[in-house]
Amino acid sequence: MDSTSSISALTEDIIVEQILRTHDPDGRWIDSKTLLQEVEAILSFVLQSDVSKPLLTENCMTDIEVFESKETLPYAISRISVQMLCPCMGENEIHTRTMVLFDLLKEYRWDAKAVLVLGALAATYGGLLLPIHLGSNDPVAASIATLNQLPMERTTFRPWLNPLSLLIKVLVDVTKCITEFERLPFKQAKVDSNLVGETMSKIRLATYWVVKSALACLQQIPYFKQPQQATESRRAAGELSSLGYQLRNMHTRLSKQVEECSTQIEETIYQRLRNINRETHQDNQEVLQLLFSLQDDLLLQQYSRQIAITDLKEKVILLLLSKPELSPTEPFHFLLQQLYHHPSNTNTEILWTPIPASQKWTEEEKQTVNFSSNSLPCISVKRPWLMSSTVLNFLRTEWPYRDGETMVAVMDTNGKVVNMNAMDMVLIWGGKAYPFTASREDELWEEDHTLSLQLMLDGIHPEFNTWVKEGREICLLGSDDSNWVDEINSLARKLQNLGFEFELIDLSKRTVDSMEESSIQELFWLRLESIKRSKLKRIESSNHDRVIEEVTELLEFDSGEHKGWAVVGNGSTAETEKIVGEKLTERMRRIVRWGEHAAGMGFAEAIRIAEEEEPCEESHTVVVPFEEGLRVVTCEKCKRPMKKFVAYQ
């Protein structure tokens, strides 16, 4: 290394040491990436040669988030602008002013320091050049430009403006490198310490040059207002060009090192994610940090309340992965209701993690997530668009998540993923399925041998549990034939007038007027689909399974062959009877014809008895005590209710 480069390296070390003395971050956080995008849009617009081109950006300044800061973003930029607009004469004075700016920015991270300074640069040049842009069509803007001693003819300062534009472009590029490096998850990935240390030193130096160069750009304003000083203007343009060339070389070297760090970290993180269940963890904190704190220490939230990852310690976590738009909404609210309205939920938390359709989030997706996060009772990732692309790729490729679908992965208190998708378990049994493991699913199916009313309706119909306590009988029916449904409703009213006590629930796959009925129908069929999927995972094709047969029959019911279907039973028992449409109609008509002779008989019992096509051919008499005659007496042969006569002896 020659003496010149040695002196240069020594100078750089001194500069880094000086700015490190001013660096004292206090935890405040600015969405520097979004702010930089807005700054770049403003500067690109006001510095362009063709002023007729529209500004291709939306006003997102109000959406830029700032946390743990004692000053607002506009105030911080205004405070920096005041210092930057102070005149500086000579290299030494610019360096001194640069160090003053670093002292002002001591509480901020390196990326925030650079972006805030560029924000002050954009605010200043935007205010100067925007009237010139608008002046040709707006007399007020033209007057403002004149009052500010601004030349309306851009040709007068174009030789100076071109190198300024190129310098500012490279400043933005260098700041992007700084921002990208600062967002890398070094806590979760062990990479080459020499590479990280060397890159970190260059990041600090790059931040210094961004601040110093931005300060130098603002020192050019007098030449801009007085372009007639041709000699001085050319000299200023030469200085800007030289500075731009120097920073371009810095950017080339820096971007390569940042990319190398990023690649190493991505590979390490991806491998660690694949080894989640192979490693032993004391709790779930390390794994949750790996998934959700990869960039800018992502915060969680519940409604508008911020949640720390440490608050989830010793909890069973249900990771709800879905697209940003919770559509249709009913299944999601039902899923949350199934879990939060169960006594065993005290040790369980749902963590909603929305995943975009592509690698880049749209503004519409962001707005949808913000709205849903503030309305759902579960915990959610506050800014999911800041999640690492490595994590998103892992979830898409290594986990059974598919774009547009919904899944619920279960993480136990030790950070082990014990069930890759417990969605069906939750939709079928709710909190009863705790701790949502595959073995627990097997246990629950050992308890549920048949497709009972409890299995189909519990948690879906708001009155079901009340009916179960009262011992009330229930008849479910479904059909595409509205005339058949109307006929069944008419027959049901006649039977209820005869004294039969039962509830009729229409679960047809057709549009209904009542929103509550529509919700019950949607959730009923969703539950049946979950039952089938859950069962299919646990049986061999050669094995006979009653639940599979019954649920498949309902899901694949052919309304063209039969008018409809019905399931009759009592919510407190497992036994039910399935009846196709025509037979249900015939049986209910028979019971109506029996009239008062069937009074006191249960609906399910009457439906079973009415199955016999013909009564006994021979009339016969049965004598029973008066007390027994108060109830329904059935024929021993055909099981139909017998007519009552009172005999006195």
pLDDT in tens, 336-391: 887 776 666 678 899 999 999 888 888 889 889 988 888 888 899 888 888 888 88
Query: What mean pLDDT is reported for the chain?
Result: 81
pLDDT at 202: 93
pLDDT digits 0-9 by tens, 113-133: 999 999 999 998 888 877 777
Burial of 446 (0-12, 13-18, 19+ CB in 10 A): exposed
- Per residue in 257-284, pLDDT (tens digit) is 999 999 998 888 899 889 988 888 889 9
Query: Phi, psi at residue 312, to the nearest 5°?
Result: -95, 5
CA 272 to each of CA 63, 184, 242: distance values in angstroms, whole numbers, following the listed order: 34, 16, 45
Instruction: Give the pLDDT of residue 588.
Output: 87
400: helix, strand or coil? coil
Q: Are 84 and 193 in contact (CB under 8 A)?
A: no
pTM: predicted TM-score of the whole model, two decimal places: 0.76
d(C-alpha 236, C-alpha 316), whole Å: 64
454 neighbors 468 (Cβ within 8 angstroms):
yes
Q: What's residue 62's pLDDT?
A: 63
Which position has the higher pLDDT, 216 or 634? 216
Overall average pLDDT of the 624-633 stretch: 54
pLDDT digits (tens, 9 = 90+) for 468-527: 888 888 989 888 888 888 998 999 899 888 888 888 998 887 655 666 677 888 889 999
Beta strands (DSSP E) in 186-334 are 300-302, 305-307, 316-322
8 A C-beta contact, residue 304 and residue 373:
no
Confidence band of 3 (pLDDT split at 50, 70, 90): very low
> What is the model's pLDDT at position 557?
83
In the predicted structure, residue 617 carries a pLDDT above the cut 60: no
pLDDT higher than threshold 50 for residue 1: no
At 411-460, the pLDDT tens digits run 999 999 999 999 999 999 988 888 899 999 999 998 888 888 889 998 88
Which range of 152-156, 287-291, 609-613 scores highest in mean pLDDT? It is 287-291
Q: What is the pLDDT of residue 649?
A: 59
**Superfamily of domain covering 284-446:** Glutaredoxin (3.40.30.10)
Q: Is the pLDDT of residue 142 over 90?
A: no
Whether 560 shows a pLDDT value over 70: the answer reads: no
Q: What is the pLDDT, as a whole number, of residue 22?
A: 92
Spatial distance between the Cα atoms of 438 and 446, rounded to a whole number of angstroms:
13
Amino acid 156: pLDDT: 62
H/E element, 447 = helix 438-447
| Per-residue pLDDT at 357 | 84
**Per-residue pLDDT at 19:** 92
Tokens of residue 423, six digits: 């969605």
